[in-house]
Amino acid sequence: MARIIGGLTSSHIPAVGNAYARKMFEDPYWKPFFDGYPPVHGWLKENRPDVAVVFYNDHGLNFFLDKMPTFSIGAAASYENQDEGWGIPTIGTFEGHPELSWHIIEGVVNDGFDVCSCQEMAVDHGFTVPVQLFWGDREENPIKTIPICINTVQHPLASPKRCYEFGKAIGRAISSFPGDEKVVVLGTGGLSHQLDGKRAGFINKEFDLMCMDKIVDEPETLAKLSIHDLVREAGAQGAEFILWMAMRGALGDKVAEVHRNYHIPISNTAAGLMLLETRA
Ligand code: DHB
Ligand code: FE
């Protein structure tokens, strides 16, 4: 059966796409951010996952306010990167794994999650920035991907608890796939940030660090937060933390924290990076 070996989290700030394209890894502003990633590159080299299941949020590229599914799962052979307006260089096409996608879709629908299946799906910075940060040049480091999009744009949003339970259903589906794939699950976006309105620039370090601590061994505590709690404590766009909750749900009961980095600010955002390993 396919096996989930770990979980990764990363912010997806578009400005990172530009800094990456310009190789600004040693620039004093960017260095403390990029320096978080090499330990994860080492772990990926050692553990060689075959598939990345990526919980991400679309920012108006695939879905707009007129049609907004809560949960959507990619079922395509490939996913093209398009820029929805930030002007970051596009980075080509990402290989999919349609058989595993359909197995996951069947599993979660039977489990009570009525998802939108997408045989065509373009991916924006919410997906591409984290995948690029972890895998870099995909010719050198090939990885199959399955994008799973959760609405964080148009309220009402699914609660942290609902996303945690959705992640558990995804985890059960992956673990019952008749293959020998090693899978990593990504929770992208976050941590605290607000891009608009009176609180633009809002960051809450204390809340972020509490979330990073509790997501390891006490995700159930975080699942008690409401969307309103998240928006108040982490900012309007900090609600992207529901994507981390979905990732954590997929990993199962026991995990070990292997690495983390927290840096504020990058652009308007608190950048959070974690590597969690699954434990039997
Ligand atoms: C920024 C953060 C985001 O999550 C996003 O989607 C766009 C921009 C930022 O901090 O600039
Ligand atoms: Fe975002």
**pLDDT score of 82 more than 90:** yes
With a 6 Å cutoff on the Cβ, whether 18 touches ligand 1 is: no
| Residues that are catalytic | 125, 193
Q: Please, are residues 168 and 89 in contact by the beta-carbon 8 Å criterion?
A: no
Pairing relationship of beta strands 269-278 and 3-10 according to DSSP bridges: antiparallel
Mean pLDDT of 14-28: 97
With a 6 Å cutoff on the Cβ, whether 59 touches ligand 1 is: yes
Mean pLDDT of 251-264: 98
With a 6 Å cutoff on the Cβ, whether 239 touches ligand 1 is: no
To which residue do tokens 């870099």 refer? 136
Locate the ligand 1 atom nearest the alpha carbon of residue 59 and give its number: 6
Compute CA 126 distance to the chain's CA centroid, rounded to the nearest angstrom. 8
pLDDT of residue 190: 95
pLDDT band with cut points at 50, 70 and 90 for residue 194: very high
Per-residue pLDDT of 31-52, as tens digits, reads: 999 999 999 999 999 999 999 9
* Closest Cα to atom 1 of ligand 1: 13
pLDDT of residue 163: 98
pLDDT of residue 280: 78
Mean pLDDT of 200-225: 98
Per-residue pLDDT of 47-70, as tens digits, reads: 999 999 999 999 999 999 999 999
pLDDT band with cut points at 50, 70 and 90 for residue 185: very high
pLDDT of residue 214: 98
Q: Please, are residues 223 and 215 in contact by the beta-carbon 8 Å criterion?
A: no
Q: Among 237, 244, 264, say which to mutate for ligand 1: greatest number of ligand atoms within 8 Å of CB.
A: 237
With a 6 Å cutoff on the Cβ, whether 269 touches ligand 1 is: yes
Provide the mean pLDDT of the chain: 97
Q: Please, are residues 91 and 82 in contact by the beta-carbon 8 Å criterion?
A: no
pLDDT band with cut points at 50, 70 and 90 for residue 235: very high
Per-residue pLDDT of 98-142, as tens digits, reads: 999 999 999 999 999 999 999 999 999 999 999 999 999 888 999
Partner residues linked to 259 by β-bridges: 275
Q: Could you tell me what percent of the chain has a pLDDT over 70?
A: 100
Question: Residue ranges per domain, the chain?
Answer: 3-278
pLDDT band with cut points at 50, 70 and 90 for residue 160: very high
Write down the architecture of domain 3-278 according to CATH. 3-Layer(aba) Sandwich (3.40)
* Closest Cα to atom 10 of ligand 1: 268
Cα(192) to ligand 2 centroid in Å equals: 10
